A = this chain, B = another copy of it.
Amino acid sequence: MPDGDVRTRTLRIATRLFADRGFDGTSLQDVADEVGVRKPSLLYHFASKDALRAAVYEQMLGHWNVALPRILRAATSGEDRFDAVLGEMIRFFREDSDRAKLILREVLDRPREMAAVMRLHMRPWIESVAAYIRKGQETGELHGDADPAAYVVNVVTFLISAIAVQQLLAPMPDEQVMREVLRMARAALFVPTPAPRARRSSR
């Protein structure tokens, strides 16, 4: 009935359970039950519960590293770079809604380790986006009082939190909330052009 081999299924199911209930709130028995094997069988594929956690996060990091080139390509493809980059990021986190929850939980549960991962895997492109912002500030296209690095970090935090939290809380439709997230990020960065040639519609 279920797709894939045990290792693949285990990763998929553990991802969902860790995202929904947290690492400490999920037992190996819970995972084994859904995978459809006995608990010791999981420990044949993953040396320990902690190894399973690590594998879940490494898989997500792998997906991120696949998505990253697309994001960077979007960042250098002429105009509308801003919307393109944020669009790709939103696509990544929405492709699997567990990703945002998983990251948020990891940040709360293992802040030191997560800070190290962030420095390693986010820093490079945070720096490059910040550099792009600084250029835009010199031409007056972007708000001069923005703090480029802090802005990028905040937008990423904002995006992940909004996605992780939205289906959970929203009495409001997701689309409405996400569209406003984008509008806010844009308005916080771009100086409104005094003579706009073609004002972007918000959809």
Contacts and interface: CB of A to CB of B under 8 A. Distances in A.
Interface in A109-138: 109, 111, 114-115, 118-119
A55 interface: no
Contact of A187 (B25, B101, B187): B187
A185 B188 CA distance: 7
Nearest to A188: B184
A118 to B, nearest CB: 6
A76 B185 CA distance: 27
State the majority secondary structure of interface residues on A: helix
| Size class of the A contact interface (CB-based, 8 Å) | 35 or more
A30 to B, nearest CB: 12
9 contacts: A21-B24, A22-B24, A105-B108, A107-B169, A108-B164, A111-B167, A114-B169, A145-B183, A145-B202
